[in-house]
Each structure stands twice: as structure tokens, then as C-alpha cells.
Amino acid sequence: MALGKDYAAQQCSIARALEVVGERWTLLVVRDAFYGVRRYNDFLAHLGIPRAVLASRLQALTEAGVLARRRYQDSPPRDEYVLTDSGKALWPTVRSLGLWGREHIEGTLPKRLFLHAACGTELGAYGQCPACGIGVPPEDVEMRPGPGLDPAPEDPVSRALLAPRRLLQPLDADRV
């Protein structure tokens, strides 16, 4: 991947991780996968990203084992992209980046809140549940609209994401 060459002298785990997820847009593709987005056209609608860039990011994340490609329709052939276990392990990174943006960049209102589904408590700075004292895996996280969320978005994916939902629950925006 493009960062590999520049980071070649940096053999630390953080540098290796950035080779995979440090490219422009990559972590937003991963974020959308946590939200349940799986299909090329849905990523496209939600991210507003150039087609060639999206295709390149999906391919790179698949080659790196973060996403797995699965055929969901044969005629015409259509694939979807699903987080692997390795990809799901990026949840603490995505969560901590989001919380940092909300708390440390001026004027950022949370678009979405992330709660421990079992008890309704908002996740803490480390992705843990402050009430239960455990790290919460993404399957057990409920996403709810926050005060910064546009209540009438234009794209169908954002509309589908308006309602409270579990992370990783497949989104099928075509049916909304």
C-alpha cells in the first residue's frame, strides 16, 4: 500500500497499522462498515468519495484482511464487503478517534452516541462501559442519533442510519 514505502524504516506496530488504515479515507470506510454499510453503492452514497478512490480502498482493505468480499447477487454479479474479526478489532481505534474529535475539536457536536446495549450507558474514552466496567465489543454497541445529526439527510444511507441500531447490523439502504 502507498504508505508502506515511506514508513519502511518504522517497524513499530503503530506504523504497521498505519500502513493498512492510515491512507486517506480508509478509516471512514471502516467506520461505515461498523455502521452496517456493506455495498459499494452504499459506501459511495454515504461517503461522497470518488469512485476510483473507494474501489482502491475496498480492495486494499480486503487484501489486508480487514474486510472480506462476499457475493450477494449473481446476475449481475455484486459483492458486499464485511468486517473480518481483524477489522472488528479496529473498533477501539474508531471509537477513540471519534470521542477525541468530539471533545477536542471546537464546534463538534456528536452526530451519534454509542451505548452499551445491555445497560444503556454511553461508552467511555477507552470504549469501555463505565457502569459495567468492561470493554464493549462492537456487536454489543447501540448507536443512537446525537444532537449534531442532520434529521433530514439527502442520501438514503444516512436516512437509514437515523434510527437507533446495533453496530454491524447489515444495512440495506435499497429498501428504505
18: contact with a second copy by CB under 8 A: yes
6: contact with a second copy by CB under 8 A: yes
89: contact with a second copy by CB under 8 A: yes
Closest CA relative to residue 146, chosen from 102, 113, 120, 118: 113
CB of 123 closer than 8 Å to CB of 129: yes
Give start and end residues of each alpha helix (H) in the chain. Answer: 2-6, 13-21, 26-34, 40-47, 51-63, 85-88, 91-104, 156-160
Q: Applying CB under 8 A, which of residues 51, 52, 76, 133 lies at the interface with a second copy?
A: 133
Nearest to a second copy of 7, 40 (CB atom): 7
45: contact with a second copy by CB under 8 A: no
What cell numbers appear for 29 in the block? 470506510
Q: Tell me the closest approach of the beta carbon of residue 134 to a second copy, in angstroms.
A: 9
Which parts of this chain interact with a second copy (CB under 8 A)?
3, 6-7, 9-22, 24-25, 27-28, 31, 47-48, 64-65, 86, 89-90, 92-94, 96-105, 108, 110-112, 124-128, 133, 135, 148
